[in-house]
Structure 1
């Protein structure tokens, strides 16, 4: 034999590039135009409707998650196109060259999506806080969150120190941020993600102000997200430390470049980001500016912010080595003299939501009926002589079932979800925030003094209303036990202590763990099993 025919020929298997399981003929799958690998549509989060469009629309290119983080949305498939037969015959893998699939025309670019747990994709907000210590600044941050609903917040100049608990500053849905603090009144960076996102802090040894975290993405590699701050008085060594930090991140991924999004206040106004060059006579010197340009160039970063973020200068940057991730960036009014940067990215992040649970409302229970039902059940049980010989286990089951059935019958219940809203953020404030945002959009688009005046007035109204609502809420929990309106005095009731407890205690969760097969485990039961196995493995059976 010449070797052209395998000595033991059999069915050819085409593994899915995501789950690595063979793609069967009766399964819906797509072939990547870049690497020619097949992908189950379920592994890439593609719906059957979207899959059907691949069979009908001409000029449509598909790239698997490992070649790109692009997926597709219904909005794209509204485009008209001639019908084309793209039946899933699994015969196209014979050509493993770099040429695109002949069944698709490669004359158009790959399209992106904003598929996520939200329709708009994932949103990152980069903000220069200029202190988060005062209660006024807490309200300003809450104001930004309510306005833009970010999934991840990249913050700098927090001015926090380790003595200040995160729960004192951050809203409950962002209550476990990753922080790198300095002395009180100076610097500080953080990354705060919504509690349903799966993120992990990365400990990097560096002398610059930066914090890193990974974001777990469905069907693809994780995204490395960083928050950085360079104080204006620092020298070139702080930029060199940033370079070391990026090198440590890239070394964590073998055979591929990690997907990186790095944001923060770099305080270098003299770089022309249209052509990535340093202006003549830069404010902080040629060396430090040139070093940042070198880092950007060598790591294939693209700077995405095109509008000024402080005065006429672009100080707050968003750097990424995969610009295809970014749907858009925009600047919006911030909480200091810097604008915030809103970045929408086209990914579908893995999420972990707590299951809703039912709780009893005992203060509304019919206690008389509850007691009568239980008394009657136990009386009947004791009168039944056949029951007197029951085992301990049988009596326990009877006791438990009797109590639970009576409680379910006479005590109302309510369902508690994992989402917790800010208690004083009412509909009036939300309506005013939307009105203020409309005023800002009008002022930015038409740029007239009258429109800016209307925006500033709406902004001041929102700030005043939020402060009043927060103060009213605090007074309410202090006076909850008072009945005489004229003689109300501060009291420390249940709601007051609940509020104090929530502000003093940080939420500490167990990070995502991997089992023996290398699979990530995010649910509590699975994590408990892994920790139990590890605990058991360190003991020796001395029989």
Structure 2
């Protein structure tokens, strides 16, 4: 029965020397040739009357090969990238195109220039095990936090120092985008923005701007826009939005990374303003 089981499972017995009083009582089986080698019998462990069996198991460390390709911004040539995008006469090529057609052409030109200026690389196994959101900047901040905490535990830093570091990391920093004042001018400074918001909220309680119950609000009239009317979406507003993109986020299905949009803001403001204006027109 035992021999039948060994044969059915294609096992090979490797111990050929006796292990106790001239009999091979201890066995070593393997199901693959070359997996086990250097089988040696000799010596006893403690007061045991069985001989020890020493052997080597040959194994290979399989290193996972990453198949995930990503943009290698460390070797990117943004000067070439900017030059290729700047060569495109956006106003001429987007003239007469609809929203979807304009966006498709824009994306095609950006991706074509990206292939020439930004090389691709595969993620290493070490980076593959790292959390996606844990980039170098966040890792350095976490290391700094741990160092301050360790100093505090050792008595080299006060608890207030540690709280200061933590409060700076938790403090949210918001930014208010440019506003339009009553005259239609773009306001970018914080003091001017505060005045615009103050005037807006104060107008709610102003009798000059409020309507009585018997007074009907003025009707909205549709006005046909001229072909050469200036875009409502000003270039400064597009530039401001691109400057505040989070470059640590993954790119969307369009294949355009936020790092590309932010670093090429000077040459991308014009085409994006045109496309945005087409959306408003439609």
Same fold (TM over 0.5): no
> Which fold has the larger relative contact order, with Cα–Cα distance below 8 Å and residues 6 or more apart in sequence?
2
Structure with the largest fraction of strand: 1
Structure with the largest fraction of helix: 2
Q: TM-score, normalised on structure 2?
A: 0.28
Larger radius of gyration: 2
Q: TM-score, normalised on structure 1?
A: 0.17
